[in-house]
Chain A
């Protein structure tokens, strides 16, 4: 997939985040500090503007611009985590992007930055099964479904990272907002990069 396809992916991700902004904020109000939707939307709106103002000429330049913009605009914990993910994806991208390979690099970046492991009730729980599907040769649609299942699996989990962790046992029974936005990243990929795209 090339720069144009990746641009479509990011634009679709931005559209889904804007559409789900309220819901992400509500999920975050239950177990965090209630700003995930607002912060992600602010960041991705800035990303779309930056891509329009100066369209990048390669996949790695595009992914780098997305990462830097998210780091500069989102704040909180999501900015560094999503930003680091895209910067690592940029470093792993060649002229033509293999989604499983770059998402693996992105996931490793999130893990290195946030030190979360699967089961901690974070975005890692949505990304890990999706990357596993892609690395196993599955389709992007299958990966998006795996991300949705990973997201839903966070409901009974007790948070061990981020502000939700201060709730301890009381964090169980809630969907994790970070896993929810991460599943949207895969949903956007399935829509724009998948077989049906």
Chain B
């Protein structure tokens, strides 16, 4: 294992110290491993809290700031944070208008956020609503699984619901916007290599040089199938067609296309993939309304990418275009 680390046991704390030093406009609560917007709580604004296992940076802490999240909780690598962290984050951002929890659909994340909401309800009047993101089409039969995983659409939910909250809309409306984005968003990912968890010190899974795993999650979980490495145009097809067959993306106001890097894939390849994806969409009669290209929800040092499509409407596009000022996403503010 070659990594830029000191002691594997201190990776998260060390990184949080760096994060705080680089972004003095944010506050870091080291005891609870919570990153909070500097001016929180914002009076009268719905607070947005997310969080999850570490290793997906910039998700979630990189999206804390005006126009997006109010706080993010960092768990151990690939392990859900604990309820104490979510309770601390919720209290820190409660501006009197309630708090929205944005939860990726993994068994641990869902249960820890549930317990946190129960703990908040037990000792304060803060209203908490949770929205669970589950956009991964690679997981097919949700009757016999923990359901679809929360992946790329999480970034879009955080941006768009964050803009709705910034407009001063009430908790039920912000939650409705978040649910709409989740219900209109679909993703599919692919790994060219495994990732290596610092504490484990070796790759999570073995993937031969001439093979790739189609339909992976963001924790090195296996995908739908393992196939020989293929050219980018064929890879794009493997990612886009299951998304298009899951939801009708034609008509309306087009789609927001998000080509995401898994951590070790360079931008040049992501743009090359974006080209392939947009050609496939043109062929399918799907109009590209907006785009996002880059490593925004990663899986440590895994090579590969994911494609997320979000069916857009007026409201989604307006909120997508709204100003945002966070370490990882910044425009018009």
Contact = CB atoms under 8 A, between A and B. Distances in A.
A, B co-complexed: yes
B107 interface: yes
B199 interface: yes
Nearest to B221: A166
B222 A167 contact: yes
B220 A33 contact: yes
Interface stretch (B15-23, B74-82, B282-290): B74-82
A35 B54 CA distance: 14
B232 interface: no
Contacts of A56: none
A80 interface: yes
Given A114-B111, A166-B146, A34 B82 contact: no
A57 B23 CA distance: 47
Given A80-B112, A160-B145, A168-B144, A35 B78 contact: yes
Measured as residues with beta carbon below 8 angstroms from the partner, the interface class of chain B is 20 to 34
A79 to B, nearest CB: 6
Contacts of B150: none
A23 to B, nearest CB: 15
Nearest to A84: B115
Interface residues of A, number: 31
B200 A77 contact: no
A75 B146 contact: no
Given A75-B81, A166-B139, A35 B146 contact: no
B304 interface: no
Contacts of B108: 75-80
Contact of B221 (A33, A74, A77, A81): A33
Given A33-B221, A34-B197, A166 B149 contact: yes
Contacts of A39: 76, 79
B82 A75 contact: yes
Given A34-B204, A71-B115, A77 B197 contact: no
A88 to B, nearest CB: 13
B219 A75 contact: no
A163 interface: yes
A170 interface: yes
Contact of B107 (A35, A77, A84, A167): A77
Interface string B97-130: 0000000001110011011000000000000000
B111 A80 contact: yes
A165 interface: yes
Contact of A77 (B80, B84, B222): B80
A33 B78 CA distance: 8
- Among A74, A79, A161, A166, residue most surrounded by chain B Cβ atoms (within 10 Å): A166
A33 B111 contact: no
Interface string B126-160: 00000000000001010011100100000000000
Contacts of A77: 80, 106-108, 111
Interface of A is mostly: helix
A82 to B, nearest CB: 11
Nearest to A162: B107
B221 A79 contact: no
Given A80-B112, A170-B222, A35 B76 contact: yes
Contacts of A168: 141, 144-145
B261 interface: no
Nearest to A70: B82
A113 B117 CA distance: 13
A190 to B, nearest CB: 29
Contact of A80 (B78, B115, B149): B115
Interface string A182-195: 00000000000000
A72 interface: yes
Interface in A27-83: 29, 33-35, 38-39, 71-81, 83
B83 interface: yes
Nearest to A74: B82
A143 interface: no
B263 interface: no
Interface of A: 29, 33-35, 38-39, 71-81, 83-84, 113-114, 158, 160-163, 165-168, 170
10 contacts: A75-B81, A77-B106, A77-B111, A79-B82, A80-B112, A160-B145, A161-B107, A166-B146, A167-B222, A168-B141
Interface of B: 75-76, 78-84, 106-108, 111-112, 114-115, 139, 141, 144-146, 149, 197, 199-200, 204, 217, 219-222
